[in-house]
A = this chain, B = another copy of it.
Amino acid sequence: MNYKINQRNKVLRAKERGIYDKKTVYEILDAGKIAHVGIIMDQQPFVIPMSYARVDDTIILHGALNSRICTSLIEGMPACITVTHLDGLVLARSTFSHSMNYRSVVAFGTARQIEDRDRKTKALESLVEFLAPGRTSDCRPPNKKELNATSVVEFKIEQASAKVRSGGPKDKQADLDLDVWAGTVPISQHYGDWQAAEDLKQGINFPNYKEGIK
């Protein structure tokens, strides 16, 4: 199933890299932890990094009650949410042909506040599950005071496009004979050894969902 394509989400440059199907968009979103959320306030764009969760065709965001970004989102202002993964550097023989390998999604839509208490609790849990799958099985759920202190919004993805580059450098034929090393430098995210909180109670082992967090 594809997103409707128009001027807003059409990939114009390197357009062979543009992808509009939901499956690809979801995969790229689901592989991320931080979204860059763009809103307008007083004719000034703001791009704020936020944690997020994708649930079906929505992106869940949260923030402190009355925070600048949440208030703007709740007011139904048009927003843009972008998630990018850097997969490598592409070293070409010419300055001009240098590039990066990446996967990115640019999503357009508007958000609305989640006010219903049960839906709000579920949305907050989806944020934690997106961060660390399995985690809500043992951490304490939000209480009334915490729920009241938090704004939770759901951003409906009206349109989106994905853009993906992979593979080696694409040098011009005339440059292939240059005595310059060319190729790619793969980049990936590495999850290190878990570090227990200084005040962790004695005798608590790593959770059984540890392997799924990556």
Taking a contact as CB atoms closer than 8 A, the residue among B47, B124, B132, B192 that contacts A186 in the complex is B192
Q: Which residues of B contact A198 (CB under 8 A)?
A: 168
How many residues of chain A are within 8 Å of chain B by beta carbon?
Answer: 94
Q: Which residues of B contact A175 (CB under 8 A)?
A: 140
Q: How far is the CB of A59 from chain B (nearest CB, A)?
A: 13
21 contacting pairs across A/B (C-beta < 8 A):
A33-B100, A34-B102, A38-B46, A38-B80, A46-B80, A47-B47, A47-B81, A92-B139, A94-B141, A95-B124, A95-B128, A96-B143, A96-B146, A139-B180, A176-B201, A181-B204, A183-B195, A184-B195, A185-B213, A186-B191, A189-B190
Q: Which residues of B contact A182 (CB under 8 A)?
A: 196-197, 199-200
The answer to whether the Cβ of A24 comes within 8 Å of any Cβ in the partner chain is no
The answer to whether the Cβ of A211 comes within 8 Å of any Cβ in the partner chain is no
- CB pair A45 B168 closer than 8 Å: no
The interface of chain A, by Cβ under 8 A from chain B, is 8, 12-13, 33-34, 36-40, 43-49, 51, 63-64, 67-68, 78-82, 84, 86, 88-89, 91-96, 98, 100, 102, 104, 106, 108, 124-125, 127-128, 131-132, 135-136, 138-143, 146, 150, 168-169, 171, 175-201, 204-207, 213
- Bound-state CA distance A199–B180 (Å) is 12
- Bound-state CA distance A45–B98 (Å) is 28
- Bound-state CA distance A46–B141 (Å) is 35
Q: Which residues of B contact A179 (CB under 8 A)?
A: 138, 201, 204
